[in-house]
Structure formats: structure tokens, C-alpha cells
């Protein structure tokens, strides 16, 4: 039985709590949030104890691991305090949107030896993971072309969220950068990005973009394309396509049902895609927690590391710099 | 908070228990089974109390409703004892495979006024329910043709299960009979069936068939076809297709992921279909329990009734009789 | 170079003429029709000579084979006269809608030894033929279930055509009966049919039906279902699905393009299906003529025989009789 | 009746000749090739006169238009000689792989006033054209993202063809550049390309690449991605995907049939894609000729112009230069 202290009981934290509660060998025992009523609500739903005192949670004997789902700008602090408390950590992505803070966190973490898994949940999605497994198993031969389509359903999130998110590249593309590294099995070494403002004036007002195309290459010569938009009118568009000498394997979109319609307006019409990440990646979130429980319990290192989070951010920064300078950018991971 | 007493903790009962446990406003409080260790295992996983004494469960104050998942030949007894105890009932299908026992149960139930929902879970499947909703909303105009494909993945179940199940028509086709009534929105009045032994010698040994085709018509002139097999090598094949003047709506198969493959052997290859009912109909089972909780809590009558169970069995009997006599059979529902 | 005399230059005849003209080793040299201007138009388009004198065509030295595309009720006469003239025959289906005339034609044909191919063009469709080839090659093991969906796009044809066509079973279902025999690889021995009037009052006025479901079984125990409608609003719905122990192979619908649309109204929307037989089965018609040319040129017997036409009609008659008597009907092919 | 003189009777020329011959209002009257037997073969199949004397063809009274399908490095000469002869021209793409020769041809063409259609046949493909039509009709709102997948089936063409083709960008990508311009409805203004050698050593030996990714932007801010490979093992992969505020429209791959297979190895397996351009784009080639006939006959200017050919080549050159310099390249169309 792995007992979790949950840090942050917002929408994502609450979802995590419920997914933990379903596991036969795990439980949420403590819920922390700066908003007492939010903590109380999630605690009630999972049989946990609510608190607004982080030290109480981190010091509790019945907390075997922490799950960090607090706002992004608190992740570094929560990671370090949890590490000090010696608790294994499952932390939502990203580590931070400020590269300097990430590097500082990396330095300070050297003092501790706690397992830390970063929440790149898409790696656990049955469809995307199916592509990665097929590639890793050599089904398509050496990977030559990787095409990632990743478009959020609209409208744009509220301004405060946009202001804090670090911009399109650090907030959205970063997921695709991690997916690229995951499927490629190696690091991109050069990145070029084009971007535009097409979705909503708010992005330009914030100095951000809302539409982008990236190309990258790896040392071995694999090429990767990512395209992003902050808005679709047909749901959450999330696809991965890997191509090589022996074939192509793709992860296609998920829908709420397998209903199709034929009529005067056309044939084969399917549902809109699942709306957003909590619906689309529910199975991935559950598999991610399942894997964390299994590996922490077995004393194995987590599958997605701090370094994975850092490298995805480095790639996002490279894409941003490329866009700003209109030059391809070489990525330095040291 | 609706507190369930679970009667029967086999594979299906245990699944139900876990699905109840996930609901924020429901809990399993008692688990009964003739096998003490089975009851104990499910009880432990859900925080319930285990018992081999059915009266203890039915008499407990902290049991607001019962969920019957015991062997089919005990359903009638469990239904009647639960009704006597005044507990709302969610009972796995079928009521019984013996029509006489069903009629007797129906008579005796008149004395009680407890809500009873029969577990035709497929009615709650997002894809099949999507078809029914579209038809009921008039999307395809009057339904003219209904085609139901329903084939179990192989190999056949163990002999004892086959011996007790009542044969292909009462065990498998009955689900499709209920689906037909659900989507048609009216009762078939005449049934004709052809059947064969193609899958495994065991079916012939038991005097059963393993492959069948049924056609039916309703009073309004809608035609319905069902085809069944006891075995596929590609997973659990479950499709519903409704056709009318304004179009066609279909419920297609579900798969574990949205991965597709292109290679020298062909293109667009998808996963095998989900293997069997617990995997394929997980969402349906959850929605079924969710709906039962909502309706019992709100004092509304259940959506799937004892009479639905009786009529599906009458149709299965009609199909069987048609096969045995090689004549179309009119169905008498009185 | 195989030189064709075309008998009948209506819509189908004209299409055949153009398909012949494209073949590098065939030509249309004579066009006969009772309507001189119709014959002249097709003749002009293909460089042939037009005539309203059938004897001229049948007696011409530059006619190596005839293609009969005249009205159905003239087929028997045209077949016999062409046979007398010693010309190899490609004749549109059906032989006739009157079984007695078919039997008489069969008797009289015994006196002649000319190749005669009946125009069951669907056997040459790349998709349906692909299913047959897979079944014949043992890909799915023994065929156990065959499901044929065959629905004409609406509205219904003009009254004179309906009056002459012999009714739904002899006009539409007959194609599916031939497809069933083709894919099954054996003859159905028993047929049961249900039917209804759902599409248009004209069918009832003519004593005909417009909607039907058929089930059949073969001597080996394979089961086959056919469903028909005289009208869809989404195009010409033509599907074949064969199922056995080793898998399932299907022939799905054809569309004018591979465009798909995602939008607020749904995702994956495809074109309407190709409207009707000339569009849908263009490749089949061409392959049929190609095959006839090849086989006649090589002195091989045609692939689809008079007896195939007779047996398909026997099955259609059996379905009609079953519908009229509401009893399964055994088929006697002697 | 539009009478064609065909210049070049290789594989493509011969195909064009047959497609012309099928049109009711067009014919091939002359076939020219430097190889007399090749010219004779195509002439025989279409009832035309064969010649090795180009002047004979260009001077013939029964030649209303020319179709140039000779080797690429002769296109400029053939265009100019045909223009001098005053014949409307349908010329296979590209104009030339040498930009200087294209510019010179452009200069010299100013002296003539003959219609000239360049053979970007893909613009006439029902699927790709369907996407363009939807975009032009505003179905997806302003186009924001365009993704073009274009991969040739392998193995690579013979060395002499590769040596003459101008390299991947000028030979393959040029088609996608034209498709991009066609669907975007405006010109890309900046191009960036990455490329690699992954398919076969011969490409590196020739100083060429075999795998590429391009990103481009237009003045209005639309972004476009193209990915190319010289080899697939599953057929000719040709897709176009256009995305905007109001939705997404895609042109998917074509296959020889609509057969799908379900079995132990997976479900929904379709045929390999059509192998290569003559099979995949047969309908496009026919529609292209049809359109040329219609427009020349009606005195309308051709739909695809010399300038379209020039601009596609300018974009291919820009992609090549970008790859060589590893810098984004602005495109100057003046």
C-alpha cells in the first residue's frame, strides 16, 4: 500500500486523487492546498486528511510519496521541500517555465536521493505508447520521419493562465518535445520554428504566438515535425506518426464513442474528438500513476526523469529562440 | 451516499464492486458469497464487510440497495429475497434461463414495490446508446432495417458454464434481443432463426448450436437481423447498424488503442478488438451503475426493467423454437 | 482484335460500348437498337456502324461477339438469335424475370455451342472479388457467416421500369443471390425472407415490396444474410462481409474521393457513396469485358454462365415464395 | 473535336494518348518520338500517325494542340517550337530543372500568344482538388496550417533518371510546392528545409538527398509543412491536410480496393496504397486532359500556367538553398 500526500487539489490534483483511490494498493492519505475548502473537498472524496500546512503533510508518517499538482511556479519549491523530506515525488510537468530556476533546482537536487517522476503523462497513453513501443521494437526499421500534430481545443484559456504559462512553446510544444524525444529514442540536436498569431488577439497582446510549426533533426539524421495550434473546433487533436524503411505506425485521435453516421450530408461522420486533456488522457494519467506506484514499490527508478523535463524545456526554449531570431538553433544539453 | 450490498463476488461481482467504489456518492458496504475467501477479497478491496450469511447482508441497516451478481440459477431467489427485504435491486442478466421460473418470479414480485433494474449493460454503452439516441431522436427517420452483429471471442467457455447457460439463444442472443428492442423502440412480433454447429464439437454434444442468424419483424414493419458466433479470432465483435429514410447510424467496434500500422503486409492495420465483455463494456458497466444510483437516489424507476428481461428471454425462446421447428414463430408477450 | 456487335444502346449499352472502345484489342463495329438515333449516337462515339436491323448485325462478318444490353424482356430472344448466328455472347443480367422462359431458353440453348457470359458484373468488382479471392484462398477458414448489404440509392425508378423489373427479389436481390453463390462457393439450399413496404407507395401499388431481409443456409452449414432497400439518402450501399474461424474479410463502400472533414458538426466525414451502379461498378464493368475478351480470345469458357443466371433467379424466386408463404423454402436446382 | 499531336511516347506519353482517345471530343492524330518503334506502338493503339520528324507533326493541319511528354531536358525546346507553330500546349512538368533555362524560356515565350498548361496533374485529383475546393469555399475559415505528406514508393529509380531529375527538391518536392500554392491560395514567402540521406547510398553519391522536411510561411501568416521520402514499403503516400478556425479537411490515400481484413494479426487491414503516379493519379491525369480540352475549345486560358511551373521551381530552389546553407530563404518571384 503506497500512501500519497497530494500537494495541490485543483482540477488536475483532484483527478489524480481519484485515480490513486481506485488503485487497490494505493491511497491518498493527505491533501494539501492553500485553499482549505479545495483541500477539504478532495480529501472528503478520497478518505484523506485535508491540510493547509505543507509541513504537516511532508512530516506525516502515513505519507510514502507525494504527488505535486500545485501551480507551475511552485513546482521547484515543492520538489525541493519534498526531496528534503525524503519522499518519492510524482510532479506534474513542467518543472518550471524559467530555465534558470530549473538549472538551480537541478543543482540543489544533487544533494538528495529521492525518486522523482515528471508528469509527461502522454508517454503512458496507450496509443502514443503503442507507437513508441513499435518503433523501439524495430517494427518500422530506423525512424526517419516523425510527425507530431498537437492542437488544443478552443477557445484560449483565461488570461491569468496564459500569463503564467510561459507561452506556446513552453506550455504546449513542450509536451510534443517530450513525445519527440520519447519516440525518436534520441535527442534532437537542431531546431527551427515558424510561428504566427491566428487564433486570438490575446496571444499577441501577451507577446506570445498561438500557431507554430517546428522542424528538428537528430544526430542520426532523423527528422521531426511538430505543428501546434491553440484552437480547434473539433476537439483535441493529438496525433503521432513515425515512418521508416519498414513502414509507418500512427497514433490517431480518440473519441467518446465509436458511433458513425451516414446521411445526405456525408458518410462515416464520427463524434467530435474528446475535448481536452483530462478526458483524452484519462487512461494515460491512470497508467502513469500505476507505473509510479509499481516502480516506487519495487525500488526501481521512475521512467520519466527530471532530466527529461529539463531537456524538453531546453528544446522548447530552442524553438522559441529560433522563432525569435529566425535561425535554426543548435541545442546544448550540458 | 447509496450503500450497496453485493451478492456474489465472482469476476463480474468484483468488477461491479470496484466500479461502485469509484463513485463519489456510493459505496459497497457488504459483500456476500458462498465462498468466504472470495467475499473477503472483494470486501477488502472496497472497504466492505464480508459475509457468507445472506440474511446478515439483507438485514443490515447500512445496505440501501443490492447488486446481484451470483450464478444465474440463483437470480430468482436473490431477487425475491431482496424484494422481501425491501431493497432496490440491480440484478445481472438474465433473470433465469427457465421461462417458467421467470413467470413465477414475475407473479411473486407483484407483492413487492421495490425498484428492480436488470443488467442489460449494453444499453449504457456509449456507442450502442449513441445509436439508440440517434434513432429515438428521429435522425434516420423511421427505422427500417436493424442489423446486429454479435460474436464472442473464442475459444468456448468451460463445459460447466456452457451446461448452465441455457444455450446460445438464451445466453448470447438474449443480449442482442434486448439491444433490438432498445433500438427498435418496439417489440418484434415474429422471429425466424437458422443455426449451425461450426465452432467446437462441445456445442453439439450439449445439444446446443454455436452459430446463428435471426430475422425478425415488428408490428410497424421494421426488419431486424442478428448474427451470432461463439468464436472469433480477432476479439469481441459487437456492432449495431440502424437504417432509415434519413440515413444510417452505426455503432462500431472498440479497440484498446488508436494505433494503426502501414507496412508491406497492408495498411491501416488496427489492434485486435477488445477481448471480452469486461474490457469491451467497462464504460457501459460504469454508466449502468451510475444511472442506477442516480435514479434510485432520485426516486425514479429504473431504466431497464424485469419486463425487459422477460421479453428478451421470450424472444430468445422464440428464436430457439424457430430453429427447432424451422418455422417462423410469433411472439406472445402476454 | 475482338469485334463486338452491340445489341441495345441505352444507358448501359452505351457505357459498355465505351468500355470496349478503350480496350487495345477490341472494338465495337456494329450498334443495333430499335431507336435509330440511339444506335447512331453510340455508333458515332465508337466508330461503329449503326443499324435497326438485327440480322444485319448478326450476319456481319466483322462481328466476332455480341454484347446484349437490350431490355430484359428481349434477352431470351437476343440470346437465342445470337446463338443461332454462332456468336459468343456477353448478356446483361437477368436472363429473364420469368422462370418458365428461362427454362425454355435453357432447353433451346442445348442445340448450340456458343460461349455465353452472363453480366453479373459485381463478381469483377475489385472489392467484392477481393473478398471472394480471400475466401477461396482459405484466408478465413471455412466460411461460416456471410452478410450482404445491398441498398439502392433513391428515389425509386420510374413506374414503367418497376413494372417490367419483376419486383425487388428478381431485380435487386438477384444480384446478391449471385454474390452469395460466388463468395460461398456453394449453393444455398434453403431460403427464408421477410419484406416490407417502407420506401414509396408505388411498390405496394405494383404488388411489390421495397425493403427485405433474407437468410439462407448451404448444405455445408454456412449461413448467409442479405438485406435490401430500394432507397438510401447517402448513396449506393454495397457491402459484403465473410466470416470464418480464421477471421473476417469485408468489401466496403466506394466513394468519389478520399476527402474527409473535421468540424464542429463531427469528424471524419467522408463523401456520399457513389450514386449508382454505373459509377460504383465502373471498374467491375470494365474488368468484366476485359475478362470476356481474354477468355473468348483464348477459347476458354466464360467465368459466369447461363446456369449461374438461372440459379440466381431460382434463389430470388425462392425468396419471393418464402415471403409470400411466410415459410422457409427449399431450393431445387434440377 | 480537338486533335492532339503527342510529343514523346514513353510511359507517360502513351498513358496520355490513351486518355485522350477515350474522350468523345478529342483524338490523337500524330505521335512523335525519337524512337520510331515507340511512336509506332502508341500511334497504332490510338489510330494516330507515327513520325520521327517533329516538323511534320507541328506542321500538320490535323493537329489542334500538342501534348509534350518528352524527356524533361527537351521541354523548353518543345514548348518554344510548339509556340512558334501556334499550337496550344499541354506540357508535362517540370518546365526544366535549370532555373536559367526556365527564365530564358519565359522571356522567349513573350513573343507568342498560345495557351500553355503545365502538367501539375495533382491539382485535378478528386481528393486533393476536394481539399482545395473546400478551402477556397471558406469551409475551414482562413487556412492556418497546411501539412503535405508526399513519399514515393521504393526502390529508387534507375541512376540515369536520378542523374537527370535535378534532385529531390526539384523532382519530388516541386509537386508539393505546387500543391501548397494551389491549396494556400497564395505564395509562400519564406522557406526552410532540413534533409537527410536515409534511403539508398546512390543519392549521396549523386550529391542528392532522399528524405526531407520543409516549413514555409506565406505573407498572410499561413504555415505549411512538407515531408518527403524517396521510399516507402506500403505504396505511394500522398496526403494533404488543411486546418483553420472552422475545421480541418484532408485528402487521404487511395487504394486499389475497399477490402479490409480482421484476423489474429490485427483488424481493419487495408490494401497497400496504389503503387505509383500512373495508378494513383489516373483520374487526375484524365481530368487534367478533360479540362485542357474544355478550356482550349472554349477559348479560355488554362488553369495551370507557365508561371505556376516557374514559381514551383523557385520554391524548390529555395528549399534546396535553405538546406545547403541551413538558413531560411526568402523567395523572390520577380
Confidence grade of residue C131 (pLDDT, cut at 50, 70, 90): very high
Q: What is the phi/psi pair of residue C216, to 5°?
A: -140, 155
Buried b (16+ CB within 10 A) or exposed e, A134-143: bbeeebbeeb
Statement to judge: residues C85 and C213 lie in one domain: no
CB proximity C234 to A under 8 Å: yes
CB proximity A211 to D under 8 Å: yes
Return the C-alpha cell found at D263. Answer: 484476423
Radius of gyration of chain C from Cα atoms? 20
pLDDT of B24 = 79
The average confidence (pLDDT) of chain D is 96
Task: From chain C, pick out residues whose CB is under 8 angstroms from the CB of A233.
Answer: 263-264
Statement to judge: residues D260 and D131 lie in one domain: yes
Give the closest of A24, A45, A130 to B259, CB-based: A130
Q: Which of D114, D144, D179 is the last residue of a domain?
A: D114
Q: Which of D196, B158, D32 is nearest to A217 (CA)?
A: D196
pLDDT of D303 = 94
| D106 occurs within a structural domain | yes
Please determine, for residue B292, whether its predicted confidence score (pLDDT) is greater than 90. yes
Instruction: Tell me the count of B-C CB pairs closer than 8 A.
Output: 113
CB proximity C114 to B under 8 Å: no
Helix, strand, coil shares of chain D as percentages rounded to 5? 40, 25, 35
- Adjacent-strand bridge partners of A145: A223, A243
Task: From chain D, pick out residues whose CB is under 8 angstroms from the CB of C271.
Answer: 130
Interchain CB distance below 8 Å, B271 and D272: no
Confidence grade of residue C328 (pLDDT, cut at 50, 70, 90): very high
pLDDT of D51 = 98
Mean pLDDT of C99-117: 96
Statement to judge: residues A165 and A243 lie in one domain: yes
Q: Which of B114, B147, B172 is the last residue of a domain?
A: B114
User: Considering only alpha carbons, which residue of chain A is nearest residue B255?
Assistant: A258
CB proximity C270 to A under 8 Å: yes
Statement to judge: residues B198 and B60 lie in one domain: no
Please determine, for residue C21, whether its predicted confidence score (pLDDT) is greater than 90. no
Confidence grade of residue C59 (pLDDT, cut at 50, 70, 90): very high
Statement to judge: residues A62 and A148 lie in one domain: no
Mean pLDDT of D234-253: 98
| C298 occurs within a structural domain | no
Q: What is the pLDDT of residues D284-320, one digit of tens each?
A: 999 999 999 999 999 999 999 999 999 999 999 999 9
Confidence grade of residue C16 (pLDDT, cut at 50, 70, 90): very high
Report pTM: 0.96
Confidence grade of residue C46 (pLDDT, cut at 50, 70, 90): confident
Q: Which of B153, B12, B14 is nearest to B92 (CA)?
A: B12
Please determine, for residue B276, whether its predicted confidence score (pLDDT) is greater than 90. no
**Which sign, positive or negative, has the C-alpha torsion D33, D35, D38, D44?**
positive
Statement to judge: residues A110 and A140 lie in one domain: no
Please determine, for residue C238, whether its predicted confidence score (pLDDT) is greater than 80. yes
ipTM: 0.96
Report percent pLDDT > 90 for chain C: 92
Mean pLDDT of B298-303: 94
Statement to judge: residues A99 and A243 lie in one domain: no
- Adjacent-strand bridge partners of C119: C92
Return the C-alpha cell found at B327. Answer: 418455422
| C291 occurs within a structural domain | no
Please determine, for residue C196, whether its predicted confidence score (pLDDT) is greater than 80. yes
Statement to judge: residues B202 and B248 lie in one domain: yes
Q: Which of D258, D294, D10 is nearest to D124 (CA)?
A: D294
Nearest-neighbour CA in chain A from D150: distance (Å): 12
Interchain CB distance below 8 Å, C263 and D246: yes
**What letter does residue D274 receive in the DSSP assignment?**
P
CATH number at residue A34: 3.40.50.720
Q: What is the pLDDT of residues B191-204, one digit of tens each?
A: 999 999 999 999 99
Please determine, for residue C18, whether its predicted confidence score (pLDDT) is greater than 90. no
Statement to judge: residues C6 and C98 lie in one domain: yes
Q: How far apart are CA A123 and CA A180, in angstroms?
A: 10
Confidence grade of residue B71 (pLDDT, cut at 50, 70, 90): very high
Q: What is the pLDDT of residues D118-165, one digit of tens each?
A: 999 999 999 999 999 999 999 999 999 999 999 999 888 899 999 989
Statement to judge: residues A175 and A319 lie in one domain: yes
Q: Which of D109, D106, D114, D105 is nearest to D301 (CA)?
A: D114
| C297 occurs within a structural domain | no
Interchain CB distance below 8 Å, C198 and B245: yes
pLDDT of B168 = 97
Return the C-alpha cell found at D15. Answer: 498513358
Q: Which of A77, A95, A114 is the last residue of a domain?
A: A114
| C288 occurs within a structural domain | no
Return the C-alpha cell found at C284. Answer: 467491375
Q: How far apart are CA C244 and CA C242, in angstroms?
A: 7
Total structural domains in chain C?
2
B122 touches B92 (CB < 8 A): no
CATH number at residue C218: 3.30.360.10
CB proximity A272 to C under 8 Å: yes
Statement to judge: residues D54 and D171 lie in one domain: no
Contacts 24+ apart (CB under 8 A), D137-142: D138/D246, D139/C261, D139/C263, D139/D246, D139/D247, D139/D249, D140/C263, D140/D242, D140/D243, D140/D244, D140/D245, D140/D246, D140/D247, D140/D248, D140/D249, D141/D244, D141/D245, D141/D246, D141/D247, D142/A198, D142/D220, D142/D222, D142/D244, D142/D245
| C107 occurs within a structural domain | yes
Task: From chain C, pick out residues whose CB is under 8 angstroms from the CB of B200.
Answer: none
Rounded to 5 degrees, what angle do the CA atoms A197, A201, A207 make?
A: 65
CB proximity C53 to B under 8 Å: no
A323 touches A196 (CB < 8 A): no
Confidence grade of residue D258 (pLDDT, cut at 50, 70, 90): very high
Q: Which of D168, D194, D209, D236 to mutate to test the interface with A (most CBs of A within 10 A)?
A: D194
Mean pLDDT of C129-146: 98
Q: Angle at which helices A11-22 and A282-297 pack, to 10 degrees?
A: 60
| C302 occurs within a structural domain | no
Q: Which of B139, B156, B196, B331 to mutate to test the interface with C (most CBs of C within 10 A)?
A: B196
Report percent pLDDT > 70 for chain C: 100
| C190 occurs within a structural domain | yes
Interchain CB distance below 8 Å, C197 and B247: no
The average confidence (pLDDT) of chain B is 95
**Which sign, positive or negative, has the C-alpha torsion A183, A187, A189, A191?**
positive
Mean pLDDT for each 10-residue chunk of chain A (334 residues)? 96 92 88 97 88 98 97 96 98 95 97 95 97 98 98 90 93 97 98 97 96 98 98 97 98 97 95 89 95 96 96 98 98 95
Range of the structural domain that residue C14 is part of: 2-114
Secondary structure of chain A in HEC code, one letter for each residue: CEEEEEECCCHHHHHHHHHHHHCCCEEEEEEECCCHHHHHHHHHHHCCEEECCHHHHHHCCCCCEEEECCCHHHHHHHHHHHHHCCCCEEEECCCCCCHHHHHHHHHHHCCCCCCEEEECHHHHCHHHHHHHHHHHCCCCCCEEEEEEEEECCCCCCCHHHHHHCCCHHHHHHHHHHHHHHHHHCCCEEEEEEEEECCCCHHHHHCCCCCEEEEEEEECCCCEEEEEEECCCCCCCEEEEEEEECCEEEEECCCCCCCEEEEECCEEEEECCCCCCHHHHCHHHHHHHHHHHHHHHHCCCCCCCCHHHHHHHHHHHHHHHHHHHHCCCEECCCC
Q: How far apart are CA C272 and CA C279, in angstroms?
A: 12
Please determine, for residue D283, whether its predicted confidence score (pLDDT) is greater than 90. yes
Query: DSSP string spanning C99-155?
Result: HHHHHHHHHHHTT----EEEE-GGGG-HHHHHHHHHHHTTTTSSEEEEEEEEE--SS
pLDDT of D177 = 98
Q: Which of C42, C40, C38 is nearest to C15 (CA)?
A: C42
Give the closest of B195, B211, B215 to C194, CB-based: B215
Statement to judge: residues B98 and B224 lie in one domain: no
Phi-psi region of C260 (alpha: psi -120 to 50; beta: other; left: phi over 0): beta
Please determine, for residue D48, whether its predicted confidence score (pLDDT) is greater than 80. yes
The 10 Å Cβ neighbour count of residue C332 is 8
Please determine, for residue C240, whether its predicted confidence score (pLDDT) is greater than 90. yes
Amino acid at each position: 500500500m503506497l500512501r500519497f500526500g497530494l500537494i495541490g487539489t485543483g482540477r488536475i490534483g483532484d483527478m489524480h486523487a481519484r485515480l490513486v483511490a481506485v488503485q487497490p494498493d494505493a491511497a491518498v492519505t493527505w491533501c494539501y492546498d492553500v485553499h482549505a475548502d479545495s483541500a477539504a473537498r478532495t480529501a472528503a472524496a478520497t478518505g484523506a486528511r485535508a491540510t493547509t500546512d505543507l509541513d504537516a503533510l511532508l512530516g506525516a508518517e502515513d505519507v510514502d510519496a507525494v504527488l505535486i499538482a500545485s501551480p507551475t511556479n511552485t513546482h521547484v519549491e515543492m520538489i525541493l521541500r519534498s526531496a528534503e523530506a525524503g519522499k518519492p515525488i510524482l510532479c506534474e510537468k513542467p518543472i518550471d517555465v524559467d530555465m534558470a530556476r530549473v538549472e538551480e533546482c537541478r543543482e540543489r537536487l544533487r544533494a538528495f536521493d529521492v525518486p522523482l517522476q515528471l508528469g509527461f503523462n502522454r508517454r503512458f497513453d496507450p496509443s502514443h505508447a503503442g507507437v513508441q513501443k513499435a518503433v523501439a521494437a524495430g517494427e518500422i526499421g530506423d525512424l526517419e520521419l516523425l510527425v507530431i500534430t498537437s492542437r488544443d481545443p478552443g477557445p484560449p484559456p483565461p488570461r491569468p493562465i496564459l500569463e503564467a504559462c510561459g507561452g506556446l512553446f513552453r506550455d504546449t510544444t513542450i509536451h510534443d518535445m517530450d513525445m519527440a524525444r520519447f519516440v525518436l529514442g534520441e535527442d534532437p540536436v537542431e531546431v527551427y520554428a515558424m510561428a504566427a498569431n491566428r487564433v486570438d488577439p490575446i496571444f499577441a497582446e501577451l507577446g506570445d504566438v498561438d500557431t507554430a510549426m517546428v522542424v528538428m533533426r537528430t544526430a542520426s539524421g532523423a527528422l521531426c515535425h511538430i505543428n501546434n495550434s491553440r484552437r480547434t473546433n473539433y476537439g483535441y487533436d493529438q496525433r503521432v506518426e513515425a515512418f521508416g524503411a519498414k513502414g509507418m505506425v500512427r497514433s490517431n485521435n480518440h473519441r467518446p464513442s465509436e458511433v458513425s453516421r451516414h446521411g445526405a450530408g456525408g458518410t462515416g461522420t464520427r463524434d467530435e474528438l474528446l475535448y481536452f486533456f483530462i478526458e483524452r488522457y484519462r487512461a494515460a494519467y491512470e497508467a502513469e500513476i500505476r507505473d509510479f506506484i509499481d516502480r516506487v514499490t519495487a525500488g526501481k527508478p521512475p521512467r520519466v526523469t527530471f532530466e527529461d523535463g529539463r531537456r524538453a524545456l531546453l528544446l522548447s526554449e530552442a524553438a522559441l529562440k529560433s522563432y525569435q531570431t529566425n535561425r535554426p538553433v543548435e541545442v546544448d544539453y550540458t
